[in-house]
Amino acid sequence: MLGIFNDCFPPIMDGVSVTVQNYARWLNRKCNNVCVVTPSVPGTVYDEEFPVYNYFSLPIPMRKPYRMGFPRVDLPFRSRIGKVGFSLVHAHSPFSSGRLALKIAREQNIPIVATFHSKYRADFERAIPNRMVVDYMVKNVVDFYSQADEVWIPQASVEETLREYGYKGRVEVVDNGNDFAADTRTDLLRSEGRAMLGAGRCEPVLLFVGQHIYEKNPQLIIRSLANMRDRSWHMYFIGTGYAAGELRQMVQSKGLDDRVTFLGQITDREKLKRCYAAADVFLFPSLYDNAPLVVREAAAMHTPSLMAQGSTAASVIRDNVNGFLCSADEQGFTERLVQILADDRLRRAAGDNARATLARSWQDIADEVYDRYMHLVRRRGGMLSA
């Protein structure tokens, strides 16, 4: 059994949970021998092609809808998971699920892969005012990755963050895939998406998808749009998070209620695909993200992104080629967005190049990942077990 471990899984939606879901789905179609291990979400009934083993969890204060898992106290779960013979485990989080994966790897003498996805220090610093405690928690994260057989990162620029934390081992770049990449009905999806959103025929549609948290810089989007009242556009925010209410208040205070729409969290991937296709520009000025899946999802629908120059997330963007870059300040963001909306030809060319350079299918990624898994398993002298 191949085990994919993470601290969240749909219906909790973020880039990592979608990544884990697609890892499991496409690998399972390849070998029919995959499971996911994750904290429980009350009321959730999983309808997946593979087993999902979940364990007791509690809500994380100020981080709705995320949950903290406690596998050690969940005796029925421990009994179930103890009967599973794993060939390899892959941890996508260094916390409860990752520690559990590491424990299983040691007990069963199997390889463990760990992917580094997020800027954990920023999360710790927002929640914990004590620098020493934050440093200690970052040290624990580094200690976790140092014990893995292989450490993977989703794009090369993420290595810098991991090195800053103090990790000294090797890393392997393994791209994220995209479950929209195989769909070529972009024109149809665009017209359906614009109709669904109620967008005017010639009205530029702007889009943000992601957690509504200040680390992702959505407040910069709102401040910049307030400078563009004399131009045609409509902005859509998709997602949820601790700052959602305050962002709505900010929109009201700027007098943008009729031009900014908050759609909440969209878990229907077909509906979300149409939102991406309907958009003219995807706005993502985050300085927090490492390798945001949402940028690749937008690219698959020929929608180019406007991102913060110099950010880790933007390292895959070549300005005016497969997306757009600008300074992460109100004046720079406003001026660049005005430029982009005024040049239809440049915007469309960037969207086409974004799809060509950023949108690999998950099936393609799964083939590469499976080969890497098998190399590790064989190197350990093992084989895939049922």
Assigned domain for 373 exists: yes
According to the model, what pLDDT value does residue 382 have? 65
Together in a domain, 190 and 249: yes
386 has pLDDT over 50: no
Residues 6 and 144 in one domain: yes
pLDDT for 40-81, tens place per residue? Answer: 999 999 999 999 999 999 999 878 889 999 999 999 999 999
Do 94 and 145 lie in one domain? The reply is yes
Q: What is the mean pLDDT of the chain?
A: 95
Give the mean pLDDT of 172-187: 93
Q: For residue range 241-280, list pLDDT tens digits in order.
A: 999 999 999 999 999 999 999 999 999 999 999 999 999 9
- What is d(CA 308, CA 238) in angstroms, rounded to the nearest whole number? 19
Do 171 and 285 reside in the same domain of the chain?
no
**Taking phi first (over 0 means left), then psi (-120 to 50 degrees means alpha), and beta for anything else, what does residue 156 get?**
alpha
**Judgement on whether residues 330 and 372 belong to the same structural domain of the protein:** no
Residue 350 has pLDDT above 90, yes or no: yes
Asked if residue 126 and residue 75 are part of one domain, the reply reads: yes
pLDDT in tens, 94-113: 999 999 999 999 999 999 99
- 158 and 224 co-located in one domain: no
Residue 384: inside a domain: no
**Per the domain annotation, does 331 fall within a domain?**
yes
User: Can you give the CATH number for the domain in which 298 is found?
Assistant: 3.40.50.2000
Say if 386 falls within a structural domain: no
User: Do the bridges between strand 281-284 and strand 305-308 make them parallel or antiparallel, or are there none, so unpaired?
Assistant: parallel
Average pLDDT of the residues in 126-132:
93
The verdict on pTM exceeding 0.85 is: yes
- 328 lies in the same domain as 229: yes
Q: Is residue 385 part of a domain?
A: no
**Cα distances (Å, whole numbers) of residue 194 to 134, 186, 234, 348:** 44, 12, 11, 17
In a domain, 81, yes or no: yes
Q: What is the count of structural domains for the chain?
A: 2
Judge if 40 and 168 occupy the same domain: yes
Same domain? 240 vs 226: yes
The confidence score (pLDDT) of residue 384 equals 60
If you average pLDDT over residues 304-332, what whole number do you get? Answer: 97
- 201 or 136, which is more confident: 136
pLDDT band at residue 383, thresholds of 50, 70 and 90?
A: low
Let me know if residue 277 belongs to a domain.
Answer: yes
Same domain? 209 vs 89: no
% residues pLDDT > 70 (the chain): 99
Distance CA 64, CA 242 (A): 7
The pLDDT-based confidence of 347 (bands split at 50, 70, 90) is: very high
Please report the pLDDT score of residue 345 as a whole number: 97
Res 296 pLDDT > 90: yes
In a domain, 322, yes or no: yes
Claim to verify: residue 72 and residue 43 sit in the same structural domain: yes
Domain span including residue 336: 186-358
